[in-house]
Amino acid sequence: MKYTTIIDIAQALGISKSTVSRALRGDKQNVSKETRERILAMAKKMGYTRNELAVNLRKQSTRTIGIVVPEMLTPFYMNFITYAQQELNRQGYRVTLAQSHENPNAELANLQMFEDYRVEGILISVCHTEKNLATYQRIMKKGIPMVFFDRTLSSLPISKVKIDDYLKSFFLVEQMIRRGKRRIVHLAGPDYIQNSQERKRGYRDALEKFHLPYCPEYVIDAGVDFSGGEQAVEQLLKQHIAFDALFCFTEMSALGAKSNLQKHGVQIPDEVAIACISGTDLCVLVHPSITAVEQPVKQMAEEASRLIVQKVEHPELPDKTIILEAETIYREST
């Protein structure tokens, strides 16, 4: 399969490739209307499509932003990507996507690939607090702009867009306590995600504020997904740990927990209340009794996009951290 090139067009018309290039790029100044039309017609006839590889190589610019996310199964990251894509397209950038599947090695490979393809900026939600620190720093030092979003890293002086996980966590737990819950179990996320650590702090401090005891066995590592939530509940029941509320790290683990509780015949929310900090309204949609603090995914995407574009176009400007107000949703128990 052979693509038509500007040389083919030039030859077919008996003119130089420079003129063809100019016409095709829409340069109205330096090519007569007549030849312009002949060129456009011939290009169409020959099925010409400009080779972006060659253009990018020549121009030494791709106008492409790479986005790395831990996963794309929950709507949160997909929404982020969609909004970011919109905003970045509006600003004249293209987007290429990569998922790390929660695996630092895959994340590394993706970042490497972005470098190889000369993306001009990177938006990333990291999958591990430490594992790829050196790589992030290497990329920064190389001068490739990066912006962290959602799962950020406090240890790195890079622009970030996030919510205040500590505060939101504190808030949610406080709500549960005010509603009379006393034995609140935290289905926590893994420690290698910083948001998880901050939510643990929020959980702990909220208990403290109300002089409730902090029991280590009430904090269970439930991972990030559906089955993590199921297993955590399984464990709780097996160990006969009494509880009247669950505060989950992700919406998926909340759903998993819910599902398993129902399987065991536990009434929700009469006996147990469930809450999580959610990227979308999935939880609410699925089960209105789950209380959620909703992350402002659209704003997050737009802020992150604006930040990365700014950084690409004005590398000299200082880094910025944006903390977004998450919307708190209260649902009446049904």
By CB under 7 A, name the one of 41, 46, 57, 317 that touches DNA.
57
Which C-beta is closer to DNA: that of 54 or that of 73?
Answer: 54
Which C-beta is closer to its own copies: that of 67 or that of 207?
Answer: 67
Residue 15 in contact with DNA, rule: CB under 7 A = yes
| CA-to-CA separations, 241 to 236, 238, 244, 275, 323, in angstroms, rounded | 5, 8, 10, 19, 36
- Residue located via tokens 């704003």: 299
Which C-beta is closer to DNA: that of 57 or that of 109?
Answer: 57
Residue 18 in contact with DNA, rule: CB under 7 A = yes
Q: Distance (Å, rounded) from C-alpha 87 to C-alpha 85?
A: 5
Which C-beta is closer to DNA: that of 92 or that of 216?
Answer: 92
Beta carbons within 8 Å of 136's beta carbon, 6+ residues apart:
126, 146, 153, 156, 158
CB-based burial label for 66 (10 Å; 0-12, 13-18, 19+): buried
Which C-beta is closer to its own copies: that of 17 or that of 101?
Answer: 101
* Contact window for DNA (CB under 7 A) among 31-39, 82-90, 193-201, 315-323: 31-39
Q: 19 contacts which partner out of DNA, its own copies, none, CB within 5 to 8 A by kind?
A: DNA
* Contact window for DNA (CB under 7 A) among 56-64, 86-94, 181-189, 269-277: 56-64
Residues that bind its own copies (CB under 8 A): 1, 3, 47, 49-54, 56-57, 62, 72-73, 75, 78-79, 81-82, 94, 96-97, 99, 101, 112-113, 115-118, 138, 142-144, 226, 255, 259, 285-287, 315
Using DSSP, state whether 67 is helix, strand or coil.
strand
Q: Distance (Å, rounded) from C-alpha 294 to C-alpha 276?
A: 9
CB of 73 to its own copies, least distance (A): 6
6 is written with which tokens? 């500007």
By CB under 7 A, name the one of 54, 215, 285, 323 that touches DNA.
54
Q: Distance (Å, rounded) from C-alpha 154 to C-alpha 321?
A: 10
CB of 7 to DNA, least distance (A): 6
**Where in 201-260 is the site for DNA (CB under 7 A)?**
none
Q: 131 contacts which partner out of DNA, its own copies, none, CB within 5 to 8 A by kind?
A: none
Q: Distance (Å, rounded) from C-alpha 268 to C-alpha 56?
A: 56
Alpha-carbon Rg for the chain in angstroms: 26
Q: 255 contacts which partner out of DNA, its own copies, none, CB within 5 to 8 A by kind?
A: its own copies
CB of 189 to its own copies, least distance (A): 20
Burial 266-278 (b: 16+ CB within 10 A, else e): eebbeebbbbbbb
CB of 98 to DNA, least distance (A): 21
Q: What angle do CA 245, 165, 82 make, to 5 degrees?
A: 105
**Do 235 and 265 meet the contact criterion of CB atoms below 8 Å apart?**
no
**Do 197 and 135 meet the contact criterion of CB atoms below 8 Å apart?**
no
Beta carbons within 8 Å of 315's beta carbon, 6+ residues apart:
143, 145
By CB under 7 A, name the one of 1, 44, 47, 60 that touches DNA.
60
By CB under 7 A, name the one of 11, 16, 262, 267 that touches DNA.
16
CB of 70 to its own copies, least distance (A): 13
Q: Which residues bind DNA (CB under 7 A)?
A: 2-3, 5-7, 14-19, 21-22, 24-25, 29-32, 34-36, 48, 50-51, 54-55, 57-60
